[in-house]
Chains A and B, each alone.
Chain A
Amino acid sequence: MERRDGGGHRRALTRYLLARFASTVPVWVGISLLAFGLSALTPGDPATIILLRQTGEPPSVEAVRIVRRQLRLDDPFPARYGRWLLRAVQGDLGQSYRTGEPVLASLASRFPRTLAIAATAMAMALAVSLPLGVATAMFRGSGLDHGVRIATLLVASLPSFWLGYLLILLFAVWLHALPVAGSGTARHLVLPALTLAVGVGAGFSRLIRAALLEELWQGYTRTARARGVREILVILRHCLRNASIGLTTVAALRFGHLLAGAVIVETVFAWPGIGSFMVDAIYDRDYPVIQGFVLFTGTVFLALSLLADLAYSWLDPRIRLTRGGGDAVA
């Protein structure tokens, strides 16, 4: 185990951050290549679809040709990719074929809405799963433990659209407590966030339970108990912090999934976030939006992954950074 003074630790941390950040660059370029290449390989001509959507009628060959020329769709792949990547690093993801609006601005205007349901769902999930996970670990094998495990298994198996309909039925149709769908107020946020939170929270509570059970039989917990520390304090002060390392990784990834993949929930609840925007873009072969979305969410994933890595050293005091940076050793 290696120890450093404060300045040395800061330098090591900076080196680690830089190295970690540098390692994301090739991954990011790979994401950009996939984003651009895959959308270009999909069948279907965006010019045809744009015109079809506008008029409701199949377009003429001439109209398709003009739109293809305007959109420079006939240029070779490397030229189009190079042009796009160069603009992307400057913060320009191009313009939507359908709307003519800048892609980054469109994503930025919708992203806060998706972030709102994802963050609310994550907060709801953690608020419920933490006490449930702790309680079921403390009272393992009890009726509560079995009941919660069965309940979490059940709700984790429910498809989100089904759950969404049931929640609408209960809270909007029967109780008239919340709006069916739409956006604009905090009340509109509750049902879509809850729909997402149920599945995430169920998974978290099982994860916390399992991680805590593992920690409960470690040497340091036995020592704490031998010193007369109460069981609840052993769990909350000692076990939970160690157990939260795994949870951090999973939570970061789940949060990334919520940001990128709340498509069905956004559709059911008419929530105008980036998920539904992406689906429309796929249907309409709106390449700039598809490419921009994949790059945007890929970047968010990379950032979350980086943050999760950094959170380890804060959560676990045993983790120290090596002089060379990049690796963490205990």
Chain B
Amino acid sequence: MRRLAFVVALGAAACVGGPERGPAAGGRELVVGAGADATPSGAFQARLGVYPLNTNVAEPLVQLTSDFHVQPLLATRWEYRGANTWRFFLRPGVRFHDGQVLTSRAVKESLLQVVNARQGYSFLDEHSFRLPNDTTVEITPTEPNLRLPEQLVHPNYSIFAPGTNPGVRPVGTGPFRFIAYRPNDRIRVARNDSYWGERAILDRITFRFFPDATTRVLALTAGEVDLIVDLPREQVGTIVRRPDLRVARASPGLILALQVNSHGREPHGLLADRRLRHAIGLAIDRGGLVRQVWGGEADTVQNMTVPQVLGAFADSVRGFPFDPRAAADVLERAGWTRGPAGIRVKGGRPLRLTLLANPETDMGTAEFVQAELRRVGMDVTWLKLPDLGSYAARLARGEFDLNLSVSNQNDANPLFLPALIYHSRSTRPFARWHLAGARFDQVVDSGMRVADPVQARHLAARAIHLAVDEEAVLIPIAALYRLYGMKRTIGGFLPHPSQTNQSWSGVTVEATAAP
């Protein structure tokens, strides 16, 4: 019913080429329709306007390029000093929006806030920082972690003016300065005319929060906003049909995959058998999924992470061909024979699996996977959990066989997801269900100990190859595009595959004639 309403409302909107109206016309203000206001605040040290919605008011030491490399930002260069220590050299002459000068003390204070709020994932504590002088910072993680520069691109590691509260009024060094915030309504920023780098083109940006995706699209078609984030894929046609609107796609930054419970307790112990895991990988028609479910707005990439992060080594992860006959052969050889109603049976036990899906993941994919596995004789029960709380609880208890999830790559560390989910020393409560084995652990550990990023990419690709191609504890399905809808008058918008690293500096708004 809701989907039907969606289609009717937006289908009608598509038929109307209404006059272009809105705040952007004739001015240099951009109005962005964002999703729900997910800004954490108060006791947990929010990063207002920085994460998860990045309004470019603050900057980290280094930044993530759209091909997932690290490049200088507030640090002009960095070097490995040995003994697990990195030294960062700060850009001279940078001032915060309140006029304070960027110093190593400001860097330490900001990063300590992250440590105190336990928001980081880089093994930092209060003793990790040393300040040789005002423009140099040395950082020593508590555990071997030479991936630190690749991690510090995350906006959570942004640097704020000393003595300010980034949860209430963020004072950073970015190309835009914070103006106002109304919770659940909007954030406004204005150009920082004293920016140390190339100044932004826009005068102002207003980010308005629209929790409902249909309303967000309607706001764009009504001309109330200039650009919307997270355009639902089923609305792409609606936008494309309007002569005044267009769609922009970021290269894939989201990986859709099945995480396998390979260490489950009964009744979730079936996938301890590697052959079953391989059969699942072979049974899914990824091309069909991309066409039928994602309407072409995805790529049949098979990897644990975004391929750019692995660079030239991405191809060493092969993934699974679509071969249902081979899947059936594997199952037969494993002793699972066709039983009543086509469900396979072994020793009287039917081949029944439980599928979990993150409630924020597209549900069409879960249905598709369920149907594909049924075709080769696996009876998959999809547990439709209402919210993130029930989902996380079940995941932590290991009460599942397959978990359909979407992983974001928001930094340049190729070992981020391997270490987080499949390593035996992961501190994440659910990691114990997915462990990829001792060889995998060794390769990941080696990757965390090499300073050379190219070597780290090579080792990460090897680790992922072990987890995907050999152990099949992760069955990749597709890589998803981030979609944006916008007026044709918007120029210079380069969608970043990691939305939290989106830059707004180069965006322009062309004035339109009054209706």
A165 touches B9 (CB 8 A): yes
Contact of A180 among B5, B12, B118, B224 (CB under 8 A): B224
Bound Cα distance A29, B392 (Å): 32
Judged by a CB distance under 8 angstroms, whether A272 is at the interface is: yes
Judged by a CB distance under 8 angstroms, whether B212 is at the interface is: yes
Judged by a CB distance under 8 angstroms, whether A207 is at the interface is: no
Whole-angstrom distance from the CB of B252 to the nearest CB of chain A?
Answer: 17
Bound Cα distance A285, B385 (Å): 14
Name which of B19, B156, B210 has the most chain A CB atoms within 10 A of its CB: B210
| The stretch of B36-44, B53-61, B84-92, B478-486 that contacts the partner chain | B36-44
Chain A residues near B36 (CB-CB < 8 A): 280
Which B residues, 205 to 237, have Cβ-Cβ distances below 8 Å to chain A? 208-212, 214-215, 218-219, 221-224
Bound Cα distance A169, B410 (Å): 36
A54 touches B44 (CB 8 A): yes
A57 touches B41 (CB 8 A): no
B184 touches A272 (CB 8 A): yes
Whole-angstrom distance from the CB of B141 to the nearest CB of chain A?
Answer: 15
Chain B residues near A55 (CB-CB < 8 A): 119, 121, 156
Contact with B along A152-177 (1 / 0, CB 8 A): 00000001011001101100111010
Chain A residues near B513 (CB-CB < 8 A): none
Judged by a CB distance under 8 angstroms, whether B198 is at the interface is: no
Bound Cα distance A49, B40 (Å): 12
Judged by a CB distance under 8 angstroms, whether A115 is at the interface is: no
Judged by a CB distance under 8 angstroms, whether B99 is at the interface is: no
B156 touches A284 (CB 8 A): no
Chain A residues near B210 (CB-CB < 8 A): 181, 270
Name which of A59, A165, A168 has the most chain B CB atoms within 10 A of its CB: A165
B121 touches A165 (CB 8 A): no
Contact of B388 among A52, A98, A100, A173 (CB under 8 A): A52
Judged by a CB distance under 8 angstroms, whether B240 is at the interface is: no
Contact with A along B181-193 (1 / 0, CB 8 A): 0111110000000
B427 touches A61 (CB 8 A): yes
Bound Cα distance A168, B117 (Å): 41
Judged by a CB distance under 8 angstroms, whether B396 is at the interface is: yes
Bound Cα distance A189, B40 (Å): 27
Judged by a CB distance under 8 angstroms, whether B330 is at the interface is: no
Contact with B along A167-205 (1 / 0, CB 8 A): 011001110100111111000000000000000000000
Chain A residues near B511 (CB-CB < 8 A): none
Known contacts A57-B121, A99-B41, A100-B42; is A49 also within 8 Å of B392 by CB?
yes
| The stretch of A7-15, A39-47, A216-224 that contacts the partner chain | A39-47
Chain B residues near A183 (CB-CB < 8 A): 185
Report the nearest B residue to A46, measured CB to CB.
B389
Bound Cα distance A76, B13 (Å): 55
- Chain B, interface size: which category? 35 or more
Chain B residues near A165 (CB-CB < 8 A): 5-6, 8-9, 214-215, 218
B44 touches A100 (CB 8 A): yes
Judged by a CB distance under 8 angstroms, whether B21 is at the interface is: yes
Contact with B along A215-251 (1 / 0, CB 8 A): 0000000000000000000000000000000000000
| The stretch of A62-70, A82-90, A129-137, A302-310 that contacts the partner chain | A62-70
Bound Cα distance A314, B23 (Å): 52
Name which of B5, B44, B389 has the most chain A CB atoms within 10 A of its CB: B389
Whole-angstrom distance from the CB of A306 to the nearest CB of chain B?
Answer: 32
Whole-angstrom distance from the CB of A105 to the nearest CB of chain B?
Answer: 11
Known contacts A165-B5, A182-B185, A272-B185; is A43 also within 8 Å of B393 by CB?
yes
Bound Cα distance A270, B19 (Å): 24
Bound Cα distance A47, B403 (Å): 21
Report the nearest B residue to A174, measured CB to CB.
B16
Whole-angstrom distance from the CB of A259 to the nearest CB of chain B?
Answer: 18
A45 touches B215 (CB 8 A): no
Report the nearest B residue to A44, measured CB to CB.
B389
Judged by a CB distance under 8 angstroms, whether A318 is at the interface is: no
Report the nearest A residue to B1, measured CB to CB.
A159
A184 touches B1 (CB 8 A): no
Bound Cα distance A211, B121 (Å): 66
Contact of A42 among B38, B118, B389 (CB under 8 A): B389
Whole-angstrom distance from the CB of B407 to the nearest CB of chain A?
Answer: 9
Bound Cα distance A95, B16 (Å): 47
Which B residues, 123 to 168, have Cβ-Cβ distances below 8 Å to chain A? 156
Whole-angstrom distance from the CB of B332 to the nearest CB of chain A?
Answer: 37
Report the nearest B residue to A53, measured CB to CB.
B40
Known contacts A60-B427, A99-B42; is A172 also within 8 Å of B387 by CB?
no
Chain A residues near B421 (CB-CB < 8 A): 58
Chain A residues near B208 (CB-CB < 8 A): 182, 270
A176 touches B19 (CB 8 A): yes
Contact of B392 among A45, A54, A269 (CB under 8 A): A45
Which A residues, 237 to 281, have Cβ-Cβ distances below 8 Å to chain B? 267-270, 272, 276, 280
Chain B residues near A282 (CB-CB < 8 A): 387
Report the nearest A residue to B186, measured CB to CB.
A182
B428 touches A60 (CB 8 A): yes
Given contacts A165-B215, A181-B212, 17 further A-B contacts (CB under 8 A): A42-B389, A43-B390, A43-B393, A43-B394, A44-B390, A45-B392, A45-B396, A49-B389, A58-B420, A59-B118, A61-B428, A100-B41, A161-B5, A169-B9, A270-B208, A276-B211, A283-B388
Offer 8 A-B interface pairs, CB within 8 angstroms, sorted by A: A58-B421, A60-B429, A172-B218, A173-B13, A181-B215, A272-B184, A284-B389, A285-B389
Residues of B within 8 A of A (CB): 1-2, 5-6, 8-9, 12-13, 16, 18-19, 21, 36, 38, 40-44, 52, 117-119, 121, 156, 182-186, 208-212, 214-215, 218-219, 221-224, 387-394, 396, 408, 410, 420-421, 427-430, 500
The 6 A-B pairs at the shortest CB distance, nearest first, are namely A44-B389, A100-B42, A100-B43, A60-B427, A272-B184, A165-B9
